[in-house]
Amino acid sequence: MSDAAPPALGGEREAPTRSPPARSGADARIRALSLVGDRKIELVEIAAPAAPAAGEVQIAIKAIGLNHIDVWGWRGMAFAKRKLPLIVGVEAAGEIVAVGPSSAPAVTAASSEAFKVGDPVVAYGGLTCGTCKACREGRDNLCENVAGVMGFHVDGFARDRLNMPARLAVPVPAGVSFRDAACAPVAFSTVQHMLFDNAKLEPGETVLVQAGGSGIGTAAIKMAKAIGCTVITTVGDDEKAAKAKALGADHVINYRTERFESVVRKLTAKKGVDVAFEHVGPDTFNGSLLCLKRGGRLVTCGSTSGQSTTINLFQLYLQQYRIFGSFGASIRNIGESLAKMASGLTPVIDTEVALADFERGLARLESRKVFGKIIVNF
Nearer CB in complex with Zn ion: 229/329: 329
Contacts of 153 by beta carbon, 8 Å cutoff, 6+ apart: 6, 9, 11, 80, 81, 82, 147
Q: In the bound complex, what is the minimum distance in angstroms from residue 138's beta carbon to Zn ion?
A: 11
Q: How far is the CB of 13 from Zn ion (least distance, A)?
A: 18
- Residue 167 is classified by DSSP as G
The nearer residue to Zn ion, 135 or 221, going by C-beta atoms, is 135
For the window 110-129, what string marks contact with Zn ion as x by the rule CB under 5 A? ------------------xx
**CB neighbourhood size of 325 (10 A):** 12
> Should residue 135 be labelled a site residue for Zn ion when binding is judged by CB under 5 A?
yes
Region binding Zn ion by CB under 5 A among candidate stretches 34-42, 110-118, 142-150, 284-292: 142-150
From the CB of residue 376, how many other CB atoms can be counted at a distance below 10 Å?
A: 29
Instruction: Give yes or no for residue 303 binding Zn ion (CB under 5 A).
Output: no
Does 96 bind Zn ion (CB under 5 A)? Our answer is: no
- Residue 304 interacts with Zn ion (CB under 5 A): yes or no: no
Interface size with Zn ion, residues (CB under 5 A): 5
Q: Read out DSSP for 256-267? A: TTS-HHHHHHHH
Shortest distance, position 140 Cβ to Zn ion, whole Å = 7
Q: Write the CA distances from 312 to 299, 316, 342, integer angstroms.
A: 17, 6, 43
For residue 298, which of 205, 231, 207 has the smallest C-alpha distance?
A: 207
Q: Which is nearer to Zn ion, 59 or 143 (CB)?
A: 143
Distance from C-alpha of 141 to C-alpha of 7, rounded to nearest angstrom: 12
Residue 142 interacts with Zn ion (CB under 5 A)? no
132 is a contact residue toward Zn ion (CB under 5 A): yes
Q: Which amino acid is at 101?
A: P
Could you say whether residue 143 binds Zn ion (CB under 5 A)?
Answer: yes
In one-letter notation, the amino acid at residue 332 is R
Q: Which residues of the chain form contacts with Zn ion (CB under 5 A)?
A: 128-129, 132, 135, 143
